[in-house]
Every structure is written in C-alpha cells, then in structure tokens.
Amino acid sequence: MSWPAPTGNPVGPDGGSANQPPRPDAAQPPVGYPPPQGQDPTAQQSAQQPPPVGRPVEVASQPDAARTTELQPPLHGGIATLAPAASAPKRLARMNERTGRPVRPWTIWVSATLFFAAAGAVAAGLLLAMWQMASPWVEVGDNQWTKDDKFNEATWLTTQFPSEPASWQRVMFAIVCCAIAVLVAAAVTTVGYYAFAGYRWTRIGGAVATGVCLLSLLLTPLAALSIALAALATAPLWLPASTRFFARWDLLRNPRVAYSEPVENVVYGPLPRYR
C-alpha cells in the first residue's frame, strides 16, 4: 500500500485539501433546474449589486413640481456631500472666472477710495500745521525778513494753549499733533483695506473710524475734512451690493461642513462583486 505524499494541508471531508477553493459547480445548481421556491432570480441579482453611493442633489421634473433628490457619484474618495441650495448663488456676488475671487461691486471701490482719501486729508492737514510751526520767518520786502511766530495759530490745539518759543510745551504739542494724525490715518486705512478684502466687520469698523476722525478737529480744518469722507465711505458698505460681496467672501473663508448620508446597508466580509 502506498500513501500520498504529504503536502502540509489538512484533509477535507471529501478526501481533498481543505485549503483548496471549492469547485465552481458545487455552489450553483445545474443549468436548467428551476430556482428555489420563494426566490426570484431578478431579485437575487439586484440583492448582490452594491447599493448606490453618492450625494443628493435637488432636481425638478416639472416647473411646478416638488423638488426631489437623487444620488450622484461621490466627490472625494467615496464621501457623499450635500449640494448647496439652488437659490444660494442668487444672494451672493458673482465670481471672476479668471481670478477665482468675487467681483468687487462699485460700492466697495467707492468706500475704499473715500477711506484712503480721508487718510490723505488728515496727512495734508498735519503737514500744513507742521509747516506753520517750523516757519517763523516771513518776507516783508526785498531781502527783508521778519520773525513771525505762527506756532500758536497752526492748529486748534495750540491756539487753545499758547506757549513761548523754545519751550517744552511746543515740543509736546508737536508730538501730540503727529500722534493724532497717525491714529486717524491708521483707523481709516485699516477699515478701507479690509473692506476692499471683503470683511463684513468693516461696517461697524467704518462707524468706529468715523468716531476716531473726530480727533482731527484738534488739528486744522483740512484735517477735519476726514470726518465727512469717513462717514461717506461707511454708507456704501450697508448697500445690498456690498452685502452680497461680503456673503460670498464669508462662504469662501468659512466653508460649511457637509455630512455624508448614513449607511443603511452594511456589508460584512468581501463585497458581493468580489465573491
């Protein structure tokens, strides 16, 4: 009697190796036999197909019909996302196809221009005041000059507090006037820049910058012109065109979280298409 050569695989109940795959004709009934009772061949095929995975989108078969949802292929790596509402783009500014950014309406251009014009007005008023402070000599005739001290008349602040030449009060007043001009210019330029960049908080920031511009009353009438310019620059930020522009930027900077649909049919083991 001769024994088969050992292979290291356990022997199955039918005498063959247990690790060998079953024969393809063992699990399927012969051709021509009717299917088992209570089972439909078409239902069995549909049960073996994997469920559709995708994201719901709104469609309407008729103009007046109710909106329904259907599944589309997933966007990124099989994760289904929710499509935005169809009416959402109507409340947002349109996008520039070349740059991929929202198109700035005329209100934003006007507002930013007026804010920077306010900064220019206060800067010009400060330069005019400093010129009067540093030029005490005036020409009265041919090569004849006389000393005319205009420091106390340069600004409203120095007018209220007269000081003597070469005193420490004059140095202090000059520094205070420069600080006021820098503070006003910084406020209006900051709001103008961020309004141009599409930040909604500049609506309130414009009102705050207008209040800061009231400090320019301590300087010259030319510097005080920044108050009116800042107030005019804040008004266009509340118009509908600016609202749509800010809403589009808010959506780009803070995208909404999209959640995938819950999985109802959980398949354990190999997928049906791999069996």
Question: How do residues 55-110 score in pLDDT, each as one tens digit?
Answer: 444 444 444 444 444 444 444 444 544 444 444 445 787 787 888 788 899 999 99
> Tell me, what's the pLDDT at 41?
52
Asked if residue 220 is part of any domain, the answer here is: yes
Cβ atoms of residues 105 and 248 within 8 Å: no
* Model pLDDT, residue 258: 74
Q: Is residue 234 part of a domain?
A: yes
The pLDDT value recorded for residue 71 is 43
Unique residue bearing structure tokens 């406020």 = 187
Q: Is there a domain that residue 142 lies in?
A: yes
State which amino acid sits at residue 158. T
Question: Would residue 246 count as lying in a domain?
Answer: yes
Those residues with Cβ within 8 angstroms of residue 111's Cβ, 6 or more apart along the chain or in another chain:
192, 195, 206, 233, 234, 236, 237, 242
Tokens 């330069």 correspond to 127
> Does residue 60 lie within any of the structural domains?
no
Mean pLDDT by 10 residues, the chain (275 residues): 49 50 50 52 51 46 42 47 47 80 91 96 94 78 75 86 82 93 96 94 95 94 94 94 90 80 82 81
Number of folded domains that form the chain: 1
d(CA 92, CA 102): 9
The answer to whether residue 113 sits within a structural domain is: yes
pLDDT the model gives residue 73: 47
Task: State the residue range of the domain holding 218.
Answer: 106-253
72 in any annotated domain: no
At 235 the pLDDT is 95
pLDDT at 70: 44
Residue 262 lies in a domain: no
pLDDT of residue 94: 79
